[in-house]
Amino acid sequence: MIKKLSAEFVGTLWLVLGGCGSAVLAAAFPNVGIGLLGVSLAFGLTVLTIAYSIGHISGCHLNPAVTLGLWAGKRFPASEILPYIVAQVIGAIVGAGILYVIASGKAGFSTAGGFASNGFGDNSPGKYALIACLVTEVVMTFFFLIIILGSTHNRAPKGFAPIAIGLGLTLIHLISIPVTNTSVNPARSTGPALFVGGWAIAQLWLFWVAPILGAILAGFFYSWLIGDEKNEPDIVGEESVREN
């Protein structure tokens, strides 16, 4: 278990450092900024690269909503949910901390720009209302879990799950960055919010409730759809199920 949790810690750290780092450091860099497309691709690449690296150790959840969605889909034991979520949140906080140290090395840096935090209303990048942000996060996380559950099922082609999941996350960001700055991951939202404080902490509840709701709905739906009656492999391989 300690190896699984260490993998989840490192993986979630990489997700926040790579994804949020691209948004904070490179999105609007003078003349060569990577923009919305670049940030979306960066989030997808973090998942794709780390899934091939640690998927055979922990399943590479990196996300409390994914862990709960896999449980709802009969892919993950309830006894390991809490330690996985704790490891993910700590990894996200450390990743955000490393990013803060790097970003604050530039004169004039301030978290007032949002520090890649998620928000609604006046704190939404496109000023979208609460209900729009709620629906976006529920629906995007629902489909993220459908992609995960489908691509990792034992009936799916082997070895391609990280590609489908990484590209799925890229697409989700392309759709929803203007609405919420894209969460679909409570841990990813928590790390930056702790450094911004104020409004980011006050609005953090949405980015726990909505992704978890969407993920659990997807887990139950996909389990019914595919007719699973027993645990199947989680994100990358059968090894993690055997260890459970």
Q: Give pLDDT, residue 131.
A: 98
Angle, helix 2-15 to helix 35-58, in steps of 10 degrees:
170
Q: Give pLDDT, residue 242.
A: 38
Tell me the CA end-to-end span of the chain in Å, nearest whole number. Answer: 9
Question: Is 145:191 a contact under the CB 8 Å cutoff?
Answer: no
- What value does the mean pLDDT take over residues 169-177? 97
pLDDT at residue 238 tops 90: no
Closest residue by Cα to residue 80 from 159, 169, 4, 157: 4
Percent of the chain with pLDDT over 90: 85
What structural domains does the chain harbor? 2-243 (1.20.1080.10)
How do residues 11-58 score in pLDDT, each as one tens digit? 999 999 999 999 999 988 877 889 999 999 999 999 999 999 999 999
Angle, helix 161-180 to helix 130-151, in steps of 10 degrees:
180
Q: Give pLDDT, residue 241.
A: 39
Single pTM value for the model: 0.90
pLDDT at residue 6 tops 80: yes
CB-based burial label for 96 (10 Å; 0-12, 13-18, 19+):
buried
Q: Which residue type does 51 have?
A: A
Q: Give pLDDT, residue 222.
A: 96
pLDDT at residue 229 tops 90: no
The C-alpha atoms of residue 116 and residue 183 are separated, in whole angstroms, by 10
The answer for residues whose C-beta is within 8 angstroms of residue 13's C-beta and 6 or more apart is: 91, 92, 94, 95, 98
H or E element at residue 54: helix 35-58
- DSSP helix/strand/coil, 77: coil
CA triple 102-106-107, angle to 5 deg: 150
- What value does the mean pLDDT take over residues 84-91? 98
